[in-house]
Structure 1
Amino acid sequence: MKTLLDFFLFLIILCVSIIIIPVVHSKCIPDQQLSLLHFKKGLVFNASFSSKLISWNSSADCCSWVGVTCKANGCILGLDISNEFISGGIDNSSSLFQLQYLQSLNLAYNKLGNGFQLIPSAIGQLTSLRYLNLSHNYYSGQIPIEISHLTGLKVLDFSYNNFRLPESPLKLESPNLHMLVENLTELRELFLDEVQISAPGSVWCQAISSSLSNLRVLSLSNCSLSGPFHESLAKLQFTLSLIHLDYNNISAPVSPFFANFSNLTSLSLRDCGLHGTFPKEIFQLPSLQSIDLSHNPQLDGSLPEFPKNGSLEYLILEWTNFSGPLPNSIGNLKMLSAIFIHDCNFTGSIPISMTNLSQLIYLEMDGNKFEGSIPSFSRPMNLEVLGLDSNRLTGNINCTHWGNLTKLSSLSLRGNMLNGNIPTSLLSLPSLNFLDLYGNQFFGQFPEISNISSNFVKYLLLGSNNLEGPIPMSIFNFRRLTWLDLSSNNFSGSFPLDDLQQLRNLSDLRLSDNNLFLTHDATNFSYSYFPQFQFLMLASGKLTTFPNFLRNQSKLYRLDLSDN
């Protein structure tokens, strides 16, 4: 019995010891802690907005400070003070450059440059750096040539500043991309968005491909690059996974060799002046997750047959000259969450297979030449935006079980030839914010809406249809309405203008060209609670006296009281 008791006492003492004895952390090297404290003291920032620097004080070991990463022996390896609202305080004399073991430095999303400061050339002393991020810092001027001394860099991000390329110390050659990257042979990711490179394809493609054989991420948006694409870029077909070259003046066709980039996950060539026919094989790359070719109006192309279990999540082709039908195999892309193909020249019917895209959130196919009926999009339960404006669609919309689309916030079917009744379930959707059915052939009465969830609707555009009967008084339950268009229908009965004071947010009201009898109390001069209109269209409303609430309108831009 005593032996058993001794055993339990031993266990209790052992547990208490484990709880009491603190875990031993790496202890910061004193001179490095002092360097950080001097570094902080020289920074210009607002402590009220700080979540990292505020924790830096001499009473705590610097390895426990937020944003500081240490090695086991106490050497500082990483420094992340991004998003700290720092507006200055780093120059060549900064004690930051005494941290000789630093491997990762993230200063992104501050205001270190203030629009006129240069990057300190002393940054070239941090030769152990593997990761350097100075993006979104309002820096200007040229990138110091000393950056090329950081030969171990794997990630370099200088994007979204106002940089120029470095110049040769001897001034014997003009600034160029090759000078910056020729020694950075370990780079895996390069972000130079908005750096003014100003080079043709034969120069920037060869500069990248000749020095950066391990590059996986290339982001050079809005860099004043031109084309055409040089074949040397094909050397990176087994490494590059992300290529973003938006807002450059490539002004050339897309080279077929991009279809050989076997690891490509993201290709973005938005607004690059592309022309010719886009190689459809690129769409079939098994690794491709995102493609953006938008705002290239001279770029022709069509969609291929898609393989089963494709990885594509984002298909963005808006404002291009893509044409032809959507293949039924688009339903194979089970990961698709966004389709933006509006203002193209697609034709044919909308494939029923698209209703199986359960991950779909955004579907915008406005401004094409789609025909036939709208498939029932009730199964993509995550659908938030559905846009099919300005096509040639026919039939009714009662086939869709609208009640299932509980996340739908925007539905736009304007400018088609749709008919039938407007389903009550559509107007009762809990998240609906924007509903545009203008310019169709819907008929029947505007249904009474008792579901208070319709209160979220801000934009309700039903003009230029064949709706009839009275306007239901439940319209005044849409308390967030800012735009209501019921014009050019066959609505009849009386409509009390005085009740508009319930819709305090309404700025655009269009009731013209119906058979309505617009009423108001001519003796009521209490109009201070009426909404402030910008557009008020009350033509052909059988008005007999001037509405008093108009005397208190200070934002009115257009008023139509004609034919009254």
Structure 2
Amino acid sequence: MIVGSLPRNTSLFRLQGLKQLNLSLNNFNHSSIPYGFSQLVSLTHLDLSDSFFSVFIPLDISLASKLISIDLSGNHLTFDSHSFGMLTGHLPESNWSSPLRLLDLSHNHFSGSIPASLGNLTTIASLDFSSNEFGGPIPDVFGNLIKLTALDFYDCKFTALYLSNNSLTGPINQIQKPKSIQRVYLAKNDIHGEIPTSFIGLIKLTHLDLSSNNFSAAVEFDVLSKMKSLTELDLSNNKLLSCSSIDSGNNSTFRVLENLVTLDLGFNLLQGSLPAPPPSLQEFLISKNKLSGEIPPSICNLTSLDILDLSSNYLGGIIPACLGNFSQGISTINLQMNNFRSRFPDFCLSVLPDLQVLILRSNRFHGGLHNSKATSGFLSLQVIDLSQNKFTGPLPTTFFPSLRAMQVVDSRQTIKCGRATPDVMCIADCEGCGAVRYKAVMKLNMKRLEMELDLEKSLSSDFTHFDFLNNQFNGRIPEVLAELCSLLVLNLSHNSLTGPLPSLLGSIAALESLDLTSNKLGGRIPSELTKLTFLEVLNLSQNNFVGPTVKEMWE
């Protein structure tokens, strides 16, 4: 919480024995980084990240000859590549190039092309230039960076990186020269052409992110499978990417790629049947494609799966019965916007104690839930979306008591919110929950609009969402629903629910959105709803209510 500026004559520069200096996460009011770091002759680690520095980097930082790590990320540094070249140009004389292993300049305002003096950093292991505005060509210097293990050019506005004949062209082909490289992030640029098979030569490569570019042509799974060290592969959001080895008769496979943990092929043009993933996968994301056919039984080999997202395809048939017992640690199942036609999947979901997100929205599921074996045991569920299907019958009374994550004050202690204390704020506290790397969003019906919700951020902040919109549920709203006292969004609209509105709904103290429109509910609106002090959205229209309105009750 330091606020102000760092003066040039700061007493910090007198500490000649200082080895590590961390001034991150402060507010230096967009002031310049002062000269004087060269006086810290013993300094090995310097962290000035996220501290609202701006304008330029003083060149004498390069004269601190023992620096191993420099982190200047998350500031407002705006100097161009000429200034950067002047900085790195000092390196040979100062011996700075000898110890430096990490340089992080991400999330600033650098512009222009990266200078060739980058090649002076001959011992660098990690380079992070992400989220800047460099653009232009990449210098032909990577042959010098023989110890490089991590390279991050995410969102750098590169536009001139064209690929042809399945190989990298121009200076960017130098990226493949450091055989020590393990992580390459080139996402969110404007790279065109085919995905280069020359990456296969990087035998130590574990992470490859080429998402959000303009790659086209076909992905050859058998070629990618030769990258045996690869643990994370992200080819999502290239829009023109297809796969020639997927057809309607034979499932393609990644079986020989035995170390793959995360595979994201979402938002492309993949067609045909679903590829059979390797059993090592923990995250399988292949949404927003044109895949058809049924889910192959081989998906049940994924014994370590945490996230399964097959949404927004043309998949149909039934969900494999083994889906309930193949991975006890699974947290997210997203099958929305497909053509599944079966009853609610009657596998035993109670053996999935870590399941947090279940989305079956916009399919053709049918039948009742009140007698289903799959309506108990959802101990960790925070988001359930069964909207826009053809479910019938009454709401399952045995279902709501199993939703323990929607009933607790503090999920680490599993303290239930009792009905006797409806005025107590009962928002769950589950710090760190949710899918860490899951980048997908879910559709949300709220405020009469279809909104998009970032699942990663929402789960980590204990967002709870219950959506049965647009089905054919009938009967009364069960009073046991009131046990979900940490629920934030409840949508039961566009069904055929009847009877009075339970007054106990007023005990769902955390509720922010309640939508019961277009049902056959009647009687008086219970005055207990006035206790919902966090309510932002309330829609009770197109029912048969009588008596005073909620507005009149509040007044």
* TM-score normalised by L of structure 2: 0.74
SS of corresponding position for 1:162: coil
The 3 A distance-change label for structure 1 pair 344 and 46 is same
**Cα RMSD (Å) of the superposition?**
3.2
The 3 A distance-change label for structure 1 pair 324 and 450 is closer
Q: Does 1:518 align with 2:546?
A: yes
Q: Does the aligned pair in 2 maintain the 1:284–1:304 contact within 8 Å?
A: no
- 1:431-446 paired onto structure 2 within 5 Å: 431-432=405-406, 433-446=464-477
Distance 2:256 2:329 in 1: 20
Shift of 1:186: 3.0
Distance 1:123 1:270 in 2: 35
Q: Does 1:84 align with 2:40?
A: no
Distance 1:49 1:401 in 2: 60
- Asked which structure has the greater CA Rg, the reply is 1
Moved more, 277-286 or 328-337: 277-286
Q: What are structure 1's unaligned runs of at least 5 residues?
A: 1-44, 69-73, 166-175, 531-548, 550-564
- 1:264-413 paired onto structure 2 within 5 Å: 264-277=230-243, 279=245, 280-282=252-254, 285-296=257-268, 298-305=269-276, 310-356=279-325, 357-373=327-343, 374=345, 375-398=347-370, 399-400=372-373, 404-413=377-386
Task: Name the residue aligned to 1:147.
Answer: 118
Q: Does the aligned pair in 1 maintain the 2:142–2:174 contact within 8 Å?
A: yes
- 1:18-167 paired onto structure 2 within 5 Å: 46-47=2-3, 56=12, 58=14, 61-63=17-19, 65-66=21-22, 75-92=42-59, 95-113=60-78, 118-119=83-84, 121-124=86-89, 125=91, 126-128=96-98, 129-165=100-136
The 3 A distance-change label for structure 1 pair 262 and 345 is same
Distance 2:387 2:151 in 1: 43
Q: Does 1:243 align with 2:191?
A: no
Find the partner of 1:421 among 381, 389, 394: 394
Task: Name the residue aligned to 2:32.
Answer: none
Shift of 1:227: 0.9
Task: Name the residue aligned to 1:545.
Answer: none
**Residue identity opposite 2:341 in structure 1:** E
Q: Does the aligned pair in 1 maintain the 2:475–2:497 contact within 8 Å?
A: yes
SS of corresponding position for 1:260: coil
- Structure with the greater relative contact order (CA < 8 A, sep ≥ 6): 1 or 2? 2
Distance 1:59 1:223 in 2: 42
Q: Does the aligned pair in 1 maintain the 2:84–2:115 contact within 8 Å?
A: yes
Q: Does the aligned pair in 1 maintain the 2:81–2:114 contact within 8 Å?
A: no
Q: Does 1:198 align with 2:150?
A: no
Moved more, 482-491 or 186-195: 482-491
**Alignment coverage as a number of residue pairs:** 456
Percent of aligned positions that are identical:
27
Distance 2:405 2:5 in 1: 34
Task: Name the residue aligned to 1:539.
Answer: none
Shift of 1:249: 0.7
1:507-546 CA-partner distances (Å, limit 9, x unpaired): 43333443x232118xx9x95x84xxxxxxxxxxxxxxxx
SS of corresponding position for 1:460: strand
Distance 1:346 1:446 in 2: 33
Task: Name the residue aligned to 1:227.
Answer: 193
Distance 2:82 2:117 in 1: 16
The 3 A distance-change label for structure 1 pair 197 and 154 is farther
SS of corresponding position for 1:141: coil
Q: Does the aligned pair in 2 maintain the 1:244–1:267 contact within 8 Å?
A: yes
Q: Does the aligned pair in 1 maintain the 2:262–2:281 contact within 8 Å?
A: yes
Distance 2:301 2:338 in 1: 22
SS of corresponding position for 1:449: helix
SS of corresponding position for 1:132: strand
**Residue identity opposite 1:503 in structure 2:** L
SS of corresponding position for 1:122: helix
Distance 2:301 2:507 in 1: 42
Shift of 1:499: 5.2
Q: Does 1:483 align with 2:494?
A: no
**Residue identity opposite 2:362 in structure 1:** S
Q: Does the aligned pair in 2 maintain the 1:228–1:250 contact within 8 Å?
A: yes
Task: Name the residue aligned to 1:456.
Answer: 486
SS of corresponding position for 2:351: coil
1:253-301 CA-partner distances (Å, limit 9, x unpaired): 11342121111111111211233326533366211111111111x2224
Distance 2:542 2:479 in 1: 22
Q: Does the aligned pair in 2 maintain the 1:121–1:144 contact within 8 Å?
A: no
Q: Does 1:501 align with 2:501?
A: no
Q: What are structure 2's unaligned runs of at least 5 residues?
A: 25-40, 246-251, 407-463
The 3 A distance-change label for structure 1 pair 204 and 159 is farther
Distance 2:79 2:467 in 1: 44
Find the partner of 1:183 among 130, 144, 148: 144
The 3 A distance-change label for structure 1 pair 266 and 77 is same
Distance 2:357 2:77 in 1: 39
Distance 1:290 1:362 in 2: 14
The 3 A distance-change label for structure 1 pair 246 and 455 is same
Q: Does the aligned pair in 2 maintain the 1:147–1:180 contact within 8 Å?
A: yes
Higher helix proportion (structure 1 or 2): 1
Q: Does the aligned pair in 2 maintain the 1:278–1:301 contact within 8 Å?
A: no
Distance 2:159 2:508 in 1: 53
Shift of 1:209: 5.9
- 1:550-561 paired onto structure 2 within 5 Å: none
